[in-house]
Structure 1
Amino acid sequence: MMEADDLLPEGLEDRLPREAAAITRAMRAALDVLDAHGYDRVRPPLVEFEKSLAGRMDGVQPRRMFRFVDPASLRTLALRSDITPQIGRIAATSLAAAPRPLRLAYCGETAVIKADQLDPARERLQLGAELIGADTVAAASEIVALAVEALSAAGLTGISVDFTLPDLVDTLAEQAMPLPPEARDAVRRELDAKDAGGLKAAGGEAYLPLLYATGPFADAVEQLRAIDAGGALASRIAGLMEIAARVGDSARITLDPTERHGFEYQSWFGFTLYAEGVRGALGRGGTYLIKGSDEAATGFSLYIDQLLGALAEPAVRDTLYLPLGHDAHAAERLRGEGWRTVAQIDEGEDPVALGCTYRLEASGPVRL
């Protein structure tokens, strides 16, 4: 019987064998894709100094992190809520002299004090890749295509990518569609909320056409192209077209040029990943600047736990029961051939109840 002390805190849960196995398979498949494309895996620590975690990326919020005092240094430590800033620190310090572009991959647990309303999880398994030293169209194209391939290898279908341009308002406000600095936050907010009335009230009437440049990529990019911005959007549109061409028909592409939620530290390009059977976003990516070193980078993060609902049920794997006194050398050879074995510990065990489908006899494996 479960006692009150056995309950887990809100937003945390156990992953039992079947779920844990599915997550592990998806994680390995995605990491294999990253490795095949030349991304070397790094493993930053779970805990760092708060100042370091909060100081490498814009938009990182220390108030979302679990924080405590290190008894050794008496400085404030934090449990990471995002691994990307740690990759920035590694690139700016230990690997500062490594040739660029630097390709790094990672996978590990993250935690937040309070979850988002749409996602109650407070602990997530984050997997991603970072291309350090480039935020060009070519870099963005590689990263988007890599993210789609990783999701496909993990077992996802019906993958879609939603492009956005996080710095669009700042780009247009400088000259093409002038806005005083004090009005820009309000215009960004109303564009993000898709509120035409609020946008007019905020002084952003010229930005109204951006609300309609959303949806399937081919149509939305033409709506964006039709906006008279004195050529200010030409390079952005050309970049989006090139990235979309690289993705091809491996994913459905949409465009929402004014989407800002989740893109607190991205610069000129961002994207969100979705797939059939998964509620909400699977991950995000884009271009950004590593603070401190001021180095450009492009990357993406996936949250592997969220894939569970869309992954196919794992096939039942044959398991070989090893009775007391079995031939240990034969069992070792069979494991080398790919068999999964369960050794008998006590008399009276039921091999079938333990999930076994074969029993090792003198003649070899015999089906139960």
Structure 2
Amino acid sequence: MTKPGLLPEGFHDRLPPFADVAAAVEARVLEAARLYGYERVDPPLAEYAEELAARLKAGGLANAVRFVDPVGQATLAIRPDLTAQVARIAATRMGHHPRPVRLSYAGSVLKLRATQLAPARERRQLGVELIGLDSIAAAREVVAVAADALTAAGITDPSVDFTLPDLVDTLAAGALPVPAGQIDALRDRLDAKDAGGVAAIAPAYLPLIEAAGAFAPALERLRAFDTTGALASRLDGLRQIAESLGDRVAMTLDPTERHGFEYQSWLGFSLFAAGAARELGRGGTYVVVHPNGNEEPATGFTLYADALLAGDATVERRRLFLPHGTPDAEGASLRAQGWVTVAALDPADTPQAQLATHCWVAGQAQAL
């Protein structure tokens, strides 16, 4: 038997006032996206496991909770990620919609297993997807929405770390050939910044380890490395994106970062805040596959709600206690002014019992 009130490992309650704060942050993030034309979709919590597996990155369903539907007897999966569902909606239910289609979302996902760094199994994801266009303009817009979303969430010192997920594939297929059987190992060694491992496979790739750091000098090091121009269009795109952001966010570049970017194409980025224990979100360019096998480019990002709220150790309450018998019209007027009112429902009620910060006395709000 379990103890009363005990939750499974990886699950937690969010209590007041933190649940209110989380809802308000979510609303502000979605509003920031709406102002750019992103309309919200709300996919179901579970789908057919086979359909969901087809849209998740390789091995994605291994971290999904699956069960047999007692109604239809089919195997269903609770979503471990929302991006795949949004891609499905764009490719099927909104396949007729003029491109690009701009969608936003918010919802909970469930992981079969968690990690020590991120022990929560139920998580809240927020994000946007721009589907049907692969261009610098599309990438610039999505990164700009991400920056505005972080500001809307109350992040005062955001930063963006850019990466080029298909960098090794692009170079290995042309300017710097690498045997097909060694490409995966080379990616791993570059991602781990293992100079010895890279040298053993393809020494020509060693300068990429040093081409990381603050955005401007890192970009120049990459340009110096790219003597054949194989990366020119990508580097020009990165420069244009950075110029559009200006000084709104700090920017870094790690061209060989691969963790979490297994299915992105030419652009990937991670979102951070100074002092945060882990990243706040991640995004980039990728491909949506339609039921007929056709592919469609897309760009988007996901924010992790718990990471956004990790810095909110204290939450300010502002509650106005209305003594028993306060006229309803006075309470309505105060709420119209922005007050949160807590009315005494019996004469013995007190401001302290209702966690009030102010009390309504003789027509004035007095701080307690």
TM-superposition CA deviations, 1:154-185 (whole Å, max 9, x none): 11122111100101111001110111211111
Pair 1:95-2:105 in alignment: no
Pair 1:217-2:218 in alignment: no
- Cα deviation for residue 343 of structure 1 reads 3.0
- Structure 1 equivalent of residue 158 of structure 2: 159
Contact 1:322 1:341 in 2 (8 A): no
Q: Which segment drifts farther, 225-234 or 127-136? A: 225-234
- Structure 2 equivalent of residue 272 of structure 1: 270
TM-score (norm. length: structure 1): 0.93
- Structure 2 equivalent of residue 298 of structure 1: 299
- Structure 2 equivalent of residue 52 of structure 1: 51
In 2, the alpha carbon distance for the partners of 1:235 and 1:326 equals: 68
Q: Which segment drifts farther, 57-66 or 142-151? A: 57-66
- Structure 1 equivalent of residue 138 of structure 2: 139
- Cα deviation for residue 366 of structure 1 reads 5.3
Q: Secondary structure at the match of 2:286?
A: strand
Q: Which segment drifts farther, 229-238 or 33-42? A: 229-238
In 2, the alpha carbon distance for the partners of 1:62 and 1:303 equals: 20
One-letter identity of the residue aligned with 1:12: F
One-letter identity of the residue aligned with 2:85: Q
Contact 2:208 2:222 in 1 (8 A): yes
Q: CA 1:283/1:155 → structure 2, altered by over 3 Å: closer, same or farther?
A: same
Q: Secondary structure at the match of 2:234?
A: helix
- Structure 2 equivalent of residue 235 of structure 1: 233
- Cα deviation for residue 59 of structure 1 reads 3.3
In 1, the alpha carbon distance for the partners of 2:158 and 2:276 equals: 10
Q: Which segment drifts farther, 23-32 or 125-134? A: 23-32
- Cα deviation for residue 347 of structure 1 reads 4.7
Residue-pair matches, total = 363
In 2, the alpha carbon distance for the partners of 1:257 and 1:356 equals: 52
Q: Secondary structure at the match of 2:152?
A: helix
Q: Secondary structure at the match of 1:249?
A: coil
Q: Which runs of 4+ in 1 moved over 6 A?
A: none
**One of 244, 256, 268 as aligned partner of 1:246:** 244
- Structure 1 equivalent of residue 61 of structure 2: 62
One-letter identity of the residue aligned with 2:348: G
Pairwise CA RMSD: 1.9
- Cα deviation for residue 13 of structure 1 reads 1.5
TM-superposition CA deviations, 1:139-168 (whole Å, max 9, x none): 111111110111011111221111001011
- Cα deviation for residue 64 of structure 1 reads 0.4
Residue ranges of structure 1 left out of the alignment (5+ in a row): none
In 2, the alpha carbon distance for the partners of 1:80 and 1:315 equals: 34
Q: CA 1:48/1:232 → structure 2, altered by over 3 Å: closer, same or farther?
A: same
How does 1:168-179 map onto structure 2 within 5 Å? 168-179=167-178
- Cα deviation for residue 358 of structure 1 reads 4.7
TM-superposition CA deviations, 1:111-141 (whole Å, max 9, x none): 1011133211212110001111112111111
Q: Which segment drifts farther, 279-288 or 192-201? A: 192-201
- Structure 1 equivalent of residue 24 of structure 2: 25
Q: Which segment drifts farther, 313-322 or 4-13? A: 313-322
Q: CA 1:164/1:334 → structure 2, altered by over 3 Å: closer, same or farther?
A: same
Contact 1:57 1:290 in 2 (8 A): no
One-letter identity of the residue aligned with 1:74: Q
In 2, the alpha carbon distance for the partners of 1:294 and 1:60 equals: 20
In 1, the alpha carbon distance for the partners of 2:4 and 2:337 equals: 44
Contact 1:50 1:76 in 2 (8 A): yes
